Amino acid sequence: MAVELIKDLLKIDQVIGKDEIQALVEGEIRVPEAKPKIKRVLKIDGDVEVTGTKTAKGKIIVNGIVNFNVLYSTDDELQSVHNLDARTDFREEIEIEGVNEGATTDISANVEHIDYEQDGDTSISVKTVISLIGKAIHDNTIDIIKDIKGLDGIQVLKESIRYNDVMGANTSSTLVKEAFELEEHMPDIIDVLRIDTKVFEKETKVVEDKAIVAGVVACSIMYFGDDDENKVNYINHEIPFTHFVELPGAQKDMDCGLKLNSYDTNFEVKEDINGALRIIDIESTVKINAKVYRQVEKEVAVDTYSTNKILDIKKREVIVSESIGQSTSKETIKGTLQVGNEIIKSIYNISGRSLITDYKIMEGKVIIEGLLEVDMLYQVEENDEIKDTRQEIPYKAYVDIEQVSDELELEVENILDDISYKKINSHEVELEATVSNYVSVDRIKKINIITEAVDTGETIDRVSRPSITIYIVQKDDTIWDIAKRYNTTVEDLIKTNDIVSPENIMPGEKIIIEKNVNFEF
């Protein structure tokens, strides 16, 4: 009887490789003629926008833009603080062995550090260190053998694989916009200095062939106000949105992975019914990368032999990323900002970002070490000068996750949810921030799977073997290895030797192997 191979398909996102690089992006920011000249640069912030990626042999090519927002003081008596937006293009390569043209990419980009030098009153030289993390993924469909039948005495060793079976993926964008009026106690607007946006997911529901994503665009707005005391003002506003992402193949209540980004934020200041500039009309584009999947567990044949016949077996190595689990935690971070001997008259704005500096696994937990980088714009009592200070607060976070161990691969992200502050004296400000930590755990498995098994037609000669063989277990031996070597079965070895824990045989143990001969008439 011929060997019968029972086949199946394994559809996986196979990670080809991952690497992180740092790149230096240099540029010059010039003040346009319509803007007043620079007296002193107060602060420069930046963010990275990836505009395109492509893969070539052995590398990912990343094109992008570093967007800058400059806040500076001027000699303008009516408006002492102005802003300036600028951008610098970049092109970088992330080398990853095994990548070829057409692979899917996943890129994370962040500004790590900005150095600048003011060149006179119309120009600023900028050097920016950016971090690029690139992952190359191959959508792979693998033919596997899940069982082997058709021969007497056939033995099959199987291994279970648990993975995320991606049923659908898509990228979709939506324009989120809203006009709102300032609260009564806020002064009228002379000039909007900057608007920062972050997008947060609130709820996602997967239905037939689509995902319904509900979220908010959180807008942080700094503006120069028409008042006598506190010229620089700061307000927060959230714009809710709901968007349908088409995902052919999605089924109700499937798991869904999302990445959300906001970009191309525009605004217009409008008059209210009294003719005062108190209405801000904001619009921002939200880009949603969505992927729906189900967790699947399949058995795959990794070895086989016959107790009677000699088989010709062929194998191949596959790399599978097994999904172990995901977890989210929130961490409250407290600290104090100090300005030395200066007296703080007014605090205009405190903003921040959270940075992960290291993470490791210890005693069933993921330990995340990070820095809360805090930036404070304030006015000095002595001469009403506006200044900026940036300080770092270290923190640790602990995330519990089941089955975590050293050989696993971690994906760790964090987001600064909110930050609040209170002036405790003339030199110090007390801070409290909330950071969300997201941890996903995968196990990278390299498995040699059977691709072919053929009966050679040769019969195993067991007649000439001794009636009893005593085998001394060697290091790294398994009960399967011994049974295969002597063309017996695992069940026979367990029964003959009264083995209680077949998966835990120890080097030096004696295994008795009895000869069994089947005669055909």
Domain positions in the chain are 16-145, 166-296, 325-447, 462-514
Note whether 437 and 307 are within 8 A (CB).
no
Residue 361: which of 297, 431, 408 has the closest Cα?
408
HEC per residue, 216-265: EEEEEEEEEECCCCCCEEEEEEEEEEEEEEECCCCCCCCEEEEEEEEEEE
Cα gap 168→289, rounded to integer Å: 11
Q: Report the 10 Å Cβ neighbour count for 46.
A: 21
User: 122: exposed, middle or buried (C-beta count within 10 Å: 0-12, 13-18, 19+)?
Assistant: middle
Query: Across the strands, what pairs with 16?
Result: none
Distance from the Cα of residue 424 to its chain's centroid: 37
pTM: 0.80
Query: Across the strands, what pairs with 499?
Result: none
Residue 25: which of 44, 41, 8 has the closest Cα?
44
Dihedral pair phi/psi, residue 485, rounded to 5° = -60, -35
Note whether 79 and 35 are within 8 A (CB).
no
Topology of domain 462-514, CATH = Membrane-bound Lytic Murein Transglycosylase D; Chain A (3.10.350)
pLDDT lower than 50: segments of the chain? 519, 521
Residue 338: which of 274, 281, 391 has the closest Cα?
391
Cα gap 409→411, rounded to integer Å: 7
Cα gap 447→450, rounded to integer Å: 10
What does the pLDDT look like over 213-255, one tens digit per residue? Answer: 999 999 999 999 988 765 888 899 999 999 999 999 899 989 8
Note whether 238 and 284 are within 8 A (CB).
no
List Cα–Cα distances, 251 to 13, 201, 206, 212, 356, in angstroms. 19, 20, 7, 12, 35
Q: What is the dihedral of CA 467, 471, 476, 481, to 10 degrees?
A: 0
Q: What is the pLDDT of residue 521?
A: 41
Query: Across the strands, what pairs with 48?
Result: 66
Note whether 112 and 23 are within 8 A (CB).
no
Query: Across the strands, what pairs with 338?
Result: 428
Residue 389: which of 440, 427, 360 has the closest Cα?
427
Q: Between vectors from CA 169 to CA 167 and to CA 174, what angle results, nearest 5°?
A: 140
Please list, in sequence order, all residues whose beta carbon lies within 8 angstroms of the beta carbon of residue 70, skipping any fewer than 6 positions away.
Answer: 29, 41, 43, 44, 83, 84, 85, 86, 124
Q: What is the pLDDT of residue 403?
A: 63
Q: What is the pLDDT of residue 445?
A: 80
DSSP-derived 3-state class of residue 307: coil
Residue 415, both tokens = 């987001």
What does the pLDDT look like over 328-374, one tens digit per residue? Answer: 888 999 999 999 889 999 888 888 989 899 998 887 788 999 999 99
Q: Which residue has the tokens 């009564």?
A: 184
Q: What is the pLDDT of residue 434?
A: 93
Q: Which residue has the tokens 């969300």?
A: 436
Q: What is the pLDDT of residue 230?
A: 58
